[in-house]
Amino acid sequence: MKLYIIIASFLFVQLTFSQEEETNKVSKVWSLQDCIDYALANNITVKEATLNKNIAEVDYYQAKSSRLPNLYGSGSQSFSSGNTIDPITSDYVTDQIHSTNVGLNTAVTLFQGSQITNQIKQNKLLTEQSIFQEEVEKNNIVLNLLETYLQTLYSKESITIANNNLEASEKEVERAKARLDAGTIALNDYTEAQSQLATNKYNVIAAKNDYQQYLITLKQLLELPLSEELEIEKVDDTPGLISQALDKTELYSSAIETLPEVKVNDLSIASNEKQLDIAKGGYLPTLSLTGSLGTGYTSIDDETFSDQFDINFNQRVGLSLTIPIFNRNETKAVVKTATLNIEKAKIQKQITEKEIYKKVETAYQNALSAQEQVIASEASKIAAEQSYLLAQKKYELGDLSTTDLVISQNTYTNAQQNYLQSKYLNILYYQLLQFYQGNDIKL
């Protein structure tokens, strides 16, 4: 009996813990900042950019290490029979020979057309470029999160509008049925109310589906499993106002100075210029310093193994000079390719700056337009709501047809959707302008 009690207590504790864990899991409400922090730490695109940065740092370390001399050890054991050259004494013998040979070899490049120096400088530029490229990916994730977050909130509020319309339609169908039974309306008025009810049911389903789709997109940006519950926090409906005095030229200049993709292009140009210097180094000679230590043993010598290792010990130091004369125009082609890549990088910078100008101009115009649309759509929504409430009262009194009531309801629904859309567009474009000015995105 005691054992049963212990087991039951254990299961109860486990069940309670699981329920609390599930409650905590569902009750977490994600703010936009929560989403940004989590995505920057877990999104695979950002992780990939971080890995590319780490690889660039390794390449830079390897390039700096190319200035150092190398060092290799070698060893061999051989057996030969018959007419042969002794590998230790270099004597011509006719006998069976056992020989051992060990050594150390080193070489260091003294001059290679400044290619090593330029390669180090290029890898440093590529490392800096990878750091800014990581920032580009982070910014892209933040902007995608901002847009998806607001779209998710928009779709969630759309569900509320759709449910309110559905409840109103259900009541209207009840009134229409009562009036039909009383003989005050025709059958087609009743069926039209039923048709509107069916439409509103469909709208609820569609709104819920849109909400789930945006949640899926948000979870993918966060790298959350689809099975995980996700609830997001509402935002302030009234963002700051965009001043009409805001200078688009200053806004564009600020974006050019702060956005990392511009710096990526600048470093790409500099990196390709270094690649040209490296290529031109192929025309110049290469001077290397080499050295070696070695010793060995041969069985045809009467000396002992240790004595031979001492007697045969040798040292060598040498200089090696390689002068390029003709390599089938390979260096010439590399130089030409590097020159063309510089021009290509400059064109890419111009393309990037044009894209930034277009984004800034679009965000600026849309922000001003969205501010005006919020004011207009809010007034339209209030007027449509009053008109719809009046239409409902007239319908209850029998002074309005079902068709006119449906039209009034649809007008009010459209006004609500227009206001909702303009509200979130206003928030989106205001935050985009903050981003282009180098400010943090905060809701």
User: Which CATH number does the domain housing residue 246 bear?
Assistant: 1.20.1600.10
pLDDT digit string (tens) for 271-310? 999 999 999 999 999 999 999 999 999 888 888 889 889 9
Q: Which residue has the higher pLDDT, 254 or 243?
A: 254
Question: Does residue 311 sit in the same domain as residue 347?
Answer: no
Tens of pLDDT, residue by residue over 106-129, are 999 999 999 999 999 999 999 999
342 and 197 in a common domain? yes
Residues 344 and 429 reside in one and the same domain: yes
Question: Is 80 exceeded by the pLDDT of residue 25?
Answer: no
195 and 294 inside one domain? no
> Does the residue 211 lie in any domain?
yes
Same domain flag for 59 and 83: no
Return mean pLDDT, the chain: 90
Q: Are residues 250 and 229 in the same domain?
A: yes
pLDDT confidence tier of residue 15, bands split at 50, 70 and 90? very low
Question: What is the tally of structural domains in the chain?
Answer: 2
Domain range enclosing 302: 79-109+288-323
**pLDDT at res. 339:** 98
In a domain, 21, yes or no: no
Residue 23 lies in a domain: no
pLDDT of 396 over the 90 cut: no
What are the φ/ψ torsions at residue 80 (nearest 5 degrees)?
-135, 155
Say if residue 46 is in the same domain as residue 154: yes
Residues 192 and 236 in one domain: yes
419-432 pLDDT, tens digit per residue, is: 999 999 999 999 99
Query: Same domain, yes or no, for 334 and 301?
Result: no
19 has pLDDT over 60: no
Q: What is the pLDDT of residue 3?
A: 44
Task: Kindly report the pTM of this predicted structure.
Answer: 0.86
Residues 257, 193: one domain? Answer: yes
